[in-house]
Amino acid sequence: MSKFRLKNLPLSRQILILFMLLTSVLGVGLGIGYPLAVKQYLVSNTYALLEDEFNTLSKHISFNEDNELLPVPAAAPYFLQLLLSRYEYSFDMIVYAENGRELGSRSSSGRIPYEEARELFIKAAAHPNDQLQHGTLSRGDENYLFVSKRMDYHGFPYYMVLFSKEQELNQINAILTRQFLLVFSLLLLVSWLLAVWFSGYLSKPLRSLDELCNKIARRQFDIPLVMDRGDEIGQLARSFDTMKNQLKEYDESQRHFVQNISHELKTPIMAIQGYTQGLIEGVFQGPQAEKGLAIIMEESKRLEKVVGQLLYLTKIESVAQMMQVGQVDLSEMMHLLRQRLAVLNPQVEWEVNVPSDLIVEGDGEQLSTAFVNIMENQLRYAKNRLTITGRQLGQNVVISISNDGPPIEESLLPHLFQRFRKGKSGKHGLGLAIARAVFEAHKGTIIARNDAGGPCFTMTVPVSFKG
């Protein structure tokens, strides 16, 4: 049988179990600590009440000619009498002569046994000074809390002892504890019911996310995710929705890629097959045969270029790709590429505004390939001018390449750097995808936009290589 683990249970049940354990431990702790705390509180307050009562009663102590105690009025406030009577709680008093003879008493719960009364006098007499003392007396099953003091009435010394039974305190403690535990049990029950609801409230959106993940796994990307929450679960839901949209875009991109690569490869293959079949069957003779062979060669080179670019793109995008990192002078690179590519469109005038010390760390060959692809694209659409500007902004170098040709189709802009996405005059649709892969491999960016003067590509490359 597998070992039980809390983490293997549903989240709602984990929350419920942990909450119940926490409240149960809290309940046990309170069940043990509360009676002890109440008992200590009652004892402390009993001594305080006994002392107050003692000071009040001592003002009403008087004796007759035979040194017998005259009746003592009830000095406790009325509300205190009601409170004490409810809990069967009382203060009793005994007055002793110096020789231990009982001079009088006041009792609301009946006289205490002689032995216990005698013991109270002994403890009071053992405290000879005139200070009020606090003490306890244990006799069998009965415990007493008392205060006592040696007093003087017109030259007549006596001892006054005011006491209360601890059993009555225990009864009050038991009543208060039962009331507390009853209230706590009700609160605990309500909190558990709320915990059941709250665990379901938290786990419900997570179950929705789980269902969404299963639908995404089945490539069902059109399922909307509506979760109006501002907490971490809502943030997770928004992240899931972003992931879903990116996966949908990637899935469409892959589908589009397969369709386009099939088209790109199918056309030259069909041409090669058609002319090869004609040559084999003798359909093409003489000059037609030479023309057919030239077409076969041209289409095979086209195939080779497409396959080569695909392999290069895959190589750049590979995580395991090892780049030859070194110091790259972008200013020198821009001027060299101008000399190399100017012949592609001689009527276009180049404007290169790049500072002489624009140095970055990176793979010079890959960066050169990326810039060549962008410049070739720009020259293909430029009318009279191609402008290159460069500058350093903080820890990045920004290169902008623009032309005065027609604007890029707005519907094409979001997909311009995807594989096989190309305009009307495009070739294979891989050049800009390769450029994007190169700049992203250098932890840089590339964006395209339509400015007032024409299309503009802006590339950002970190000065220090962070790949």
| DSSP strands (E only) in 251-379 | 326-329, 349-353, 359-362
Q: How confident is the model at residue 184 (pLDDT cuts 50, 70, 90)?
A: confident
Return mean pLDDT, the chain: 78
Q: Who wins on pLDDT, 133 or 17?
A: 133
State residue 292's pLDDT score.
74
Q: Is the pLDDT of residue 459 over 80?
A: yes
| Percentage of the residues of the chain whose pLDDT score is greater than 90 | 10
Residue 342's pLDDT is 86
Are 356 and 311 found together in one domain? no
- 2 lies in some domain: no
- Averaged over 332-356, what is the pLDDT? 89
Determine the pLDDT at residue 445: 92
Q: Is the pLDDT of residue 84 over 90?
A: no
Q: Which among 275, 294, 317 is the end of a domain?
A: 317
Average pLDDT over residues 376-402: 91
Q: 407 and 372 in one domain?
A: yes
In a domain, 187, yes or no: no
**Burial class of residue 76 (count of CB atoms within 10 Å of its CB; 0-12, 13-18, 19+):** middle
Least confident of 78-82, 150-154, 183-187, 409-413: 78-82
Whether 155 has a pLDDT exceeding 90, the answer reads no
Task: Please check the confidence at residue 2 and state whether its pLDDT lies above 50.
Answer: no
Identity of the residue numbered 78: Y
What's residue 398's pLDDT?
A: 94
Q: Percent of the chain scored above 70 by pLDDT?
A: 81
Query: Residue 61: which domain range?
Result: 11-173
Q: What is the pLDDT of residue 456?
A: 93
What DSSP state is assigned to residue 6? Answer: G
Note whether residue 385 is domain-resident: yes
User: Alpha helices of 342-414 — where are they, by DSSP H?
Assistant: 364-381
Task: For residues 334 and 465, give the distance between their C-alpha atoms in angstroms, rounded to a whole number.
Answer: 20
> Is 167 in the same domain as 26?
yes
- Are 62 and 95 in contact by the 8 Å Cβ rule? The answer is no
256: confidence class by pLDDT, cuts 50, 70, 90:
low
- 19 and 132 both lie in a single domain: yes
In a shared domain, residues 449 and 302: no
**pLDDT tens digits for 258-308?**
666 666 666 677 777 777 877 777 777 777 777 778 877 877 777 777 776
Tally of domains in the chain: 3
Q: Is the pLDDT of residue 121 over 80?
A: yes
Query: Of 317, 335, 354, which residue is a domain's last?
Result: 317
Longest CA pairwise span in the chain (Å): 163
Q: Is the pLDDT of residue 27 over 50?
A: yes
How many Cα neighbours within 13 Å face the side chain of 112? Answer: 28
Residues 296 and 158 in one domain: no
In a domain, residue 362? The reply is yes
- 218 belongs to a structural domain: no
Contact status, residue 453 vs residue 404, Cβ threshold 8 Å: yes
CATH code of residue 334: 3.30.565.10
* Predicted local confidence at residue 187, as pLDDT: 82
Is residue 278 included in any domain, yes or no?
Answer: yes
The pLDDT of residue 349 is: 92
pLDDT computed for residue 74 by the predictor: 59
Q: Which CATH number characterizes residue 124's domain?
A: 3.30.450
Q: How does pLDDT run across 39-76, given as a tens digit for each residue?
A: 777 777 777 777 887 887 888 888 877 777 888 765 55
Sequence-distant (≥ 6) Cβ neighbours of residue 265 within 8 angstroms: 303, 306
Domain identity same for 373 and 440: yes
d(CA 421, CA 412): 8
pLDDT of residue 319: 41
pLDDT at site 77: 47
CATH of the domain at 290: 1.10.287.130
Output the pLDDT for position 318. 53
pLDDT of residue 320: 39
User: Is the domain of 150 the same as that of 168?
Assistant: yes
Convert the pLDDT of each residue in 360-374 to its tens digit.
998 888 899 889 889
Q: Is 380 a member of any domain?
A: yes
Angle between helices 364-381 and 431-441 (to 10 degrees): 140
For residues 277 and 331, membership in a common domain is answered with no
pTM score, whole prediction: 0.44
- Indicate whether 186 belongs to any domain: no
Token reading at 58 = 């001592």
C-beta neighbour count of 299 within 10 angstroms? 19
Same domain, 310 and 370: no
Residue pair 453/401 in contact by the 8 Å Cβ criterion? no
* Domain C-terminal end among 173, 207, 242: 173
Each residue of 45-54: pLDDT tens digit?
777 777 887 8
pLDDT in tens, 199-237: 777 777 777 777 888 877 777 777 777 767 777 777 777
Domain check: are 164 and 298 in the same one? no
Look at 99-103, 352-356, 410-414, 416-420 and tell me which has the smallest mean pLDDT.
416-420
pLDDT of residue 351: 92
Q: Are residues 400 and 255 in the same domain?
A: no
Q: What is the pLDDT of residues 287-296, one digit of tens each?
A: 777 777 887 7
